[in-house]
């Protein structure tokens, strides 16, 4: 005899969200608290257009689910890692009543503790290849769970939760130019993201990403920055003396759309971040020969023009992110890159992604 089906257990409530990744122009590197993910300095980033590098996450809840589960790019992954659990716990503790009249579903605030979620997440770009996949991933997870559980917190408060998934994720809760304020509090309540300018500000900038390698990086950001904090004296100088001044100058450059300052600060900060990696024991090499050739190409071009045309920045991997002052310059840059690295040449440069700045999109 077939088991009786409990009709009250059959509903599923679902929310889908899409979140773009962000690229830091003043880098976050180093934590003062590993568990809460509190950084040693402020950072500033640009959020990309969701069409290019983004994560799409669907979260669902049903009384029929027996435990929390997650799939990344179609493969089930373990939720045992502390960071997922922290984000889930923080959002669950803020869950409110949900009433979906159309589906006849009513979840009371107190019911959330007994309900489990299923999470399905897709990246439209290589995961863990130094293209900030964890940033888009955790921001999207927190945003989608917040919608599902009717969490009333604003984006900045949500950013402090996403931060506990992956530091850089807090900046993807906003579009445009975003600052992650390091905060002073030991508990991390004031370590959150704020929007400096929205996605319409300075919209002639064009971002080009040269995917030098889509392989997973050898040293994860988390391990790399732990080693740096433990061994690099240069990091202490950077965090205390250099970055605070640079943050102020970068905010001014963004406000005034001053590309010359913006480009100088972006390139110098990327180079100092990689210098700090070299100053780590054992040294960390994120860039490769192709990355160095791209830096030379941009530096020579900027020098020959007398004023910067393009800014470059590299995260924890060899891929180059270039920001062109306008669309015409971006087209010229693409031509130069294709000329220098023709398709099928020995340089392992396999694709370019074009992106604009953009806003967080709720597809739910």
Residues in contact with ligand DP6 by CB under 6 A are 24, 27-29, 37, 43, 132, 134-135, 166-168, 221-222, 315-316
Choose between 112 and 317: whose C-beta lies nearer to ligand DP6.
Answer: 317
Choose between 208 and 316: whose C-beta lies nearer to ligand DP6.
Answer: 316
Nearest to 137 by CA among 34, 231, 20, 243: 20
Angle (CA) 151 157 163, round 5°: 110
Choose between 134 and 302: whose C-beta lies nearer to ligand DP6.
Answer: 134
Tokens of 169: 């994720």
> How distant, in Å, are the alpha carbons of 174, 206, 272, 338 from that of 329?
27, 9, 26, 14
Tokens of 129: 């290849």
Return the SS3 of 329. Answer: helix
Choose between 34 and 76: whose C-beta lies nearer to ligand DP6.
Answer: 34
Least separation in angstroms between residue 351's CB and ligand DP6 is 20
Return the SS3 of 177. Answer: strand
Return the SS3 of 178. Answer: strand
Least separation in angstroms between residue 286's CB and ligand DP6 is 8
Least separation in angstroms between residue 188's CB and ligand DP6 is 12
Complete DSSP assignment for 53-76 = SEEEEEEEEETT--S-EEEETTEE
Least separation in angstroms between residue 29's CB and ligand DP6 is 6
Least separation in angstroms between residue 54's CB and ligand DP6 is 16
Least separation in angstroms between residue 272's CB and ligand DP6 is 12
* Residue 166: CA count within 13 A, CB half-sphere: 22
User: Please, are residues 30 and 39 in contact by the beta-carbon 8 Å criterion?
Assistant: yes
Choose between 204 and 227: whose C-beta lies nearer to ligand DP6.
Answer: 227
Choose between 119 and 132: whose C-beta lies nearer to ligand DP6.
Answer: 132
């Amino acid at each position: 005899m077939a088991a009786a089906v409990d009709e009250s257990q059959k509903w599923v409530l679902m929310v889908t969200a899409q979140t773009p990744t962000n690229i830091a122009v003043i880098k976050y590197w180093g934590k003062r608290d590993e568990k809460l993910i509190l950084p040693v300095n402020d950072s500033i980033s640009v959020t990309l257009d969701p069409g290019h590098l983004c994560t799409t996450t669907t979260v669902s809840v049903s009384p029929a689910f027996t435990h929390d589960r997650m799939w990344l790019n179609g493969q089930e992954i373990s939720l045992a890692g502390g960071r997922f659990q922290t984000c889930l716990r923080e959002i669950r503790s803020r869950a409110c009543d949900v009433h979906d009249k159309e589906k006849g579903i009513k979840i009371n605030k107190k019911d959330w503790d007994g309900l489990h979620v299923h999470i399905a997440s897709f990246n439209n770009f290589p995961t863990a290849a130094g293209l900030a996949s964890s940033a888009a991933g955790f921001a999207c997870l927190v945003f989608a769970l917040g919608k599902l559980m009717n969490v009333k917190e604003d984006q900045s408060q949500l950013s402090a939760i996403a931060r506990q998934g992956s530091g850089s994720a807090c900046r993807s809760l906003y579009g445009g130019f975003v600052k992650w304020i390091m905060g002073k509090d030991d508990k991390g309540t004031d370590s959150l993201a704020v929007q400096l300018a929205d996605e319409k500000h300075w919209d002639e900038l064009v971002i080009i990403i040269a995917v030098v390698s889509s392989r997973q990086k050898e040293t994860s950001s988390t391990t790399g920055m732990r080693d740096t904090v433990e061994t690099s004296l240069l990091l202490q100088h950077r965090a205390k003396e250099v970055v605070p001044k640079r943050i102020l100058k970068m905010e001014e450059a963004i406000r005034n759309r001053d590309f010359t300052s913006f480009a100088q600060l972006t390139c110098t900060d990327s180079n100092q971040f990689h210098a700090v990696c070299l100053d780590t024991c054992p040294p960390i090499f994120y860039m490769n020969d192709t990355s160095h050739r791209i830096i030379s190409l941009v530096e020579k071009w900027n020098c020959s023009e007398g004023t910067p045309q393009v800014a470059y920045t590299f995260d924890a991997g060899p891929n180059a992110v270039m920001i062109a002052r306008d669309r015409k310059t971006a087209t010229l840059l693409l031509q130069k890159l294709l000329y220098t690295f023709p398709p099928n040449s020995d340089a392992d440069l396999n694709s370019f992604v074009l992106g604009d700045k953009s806003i967080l999109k709720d597809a739910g």
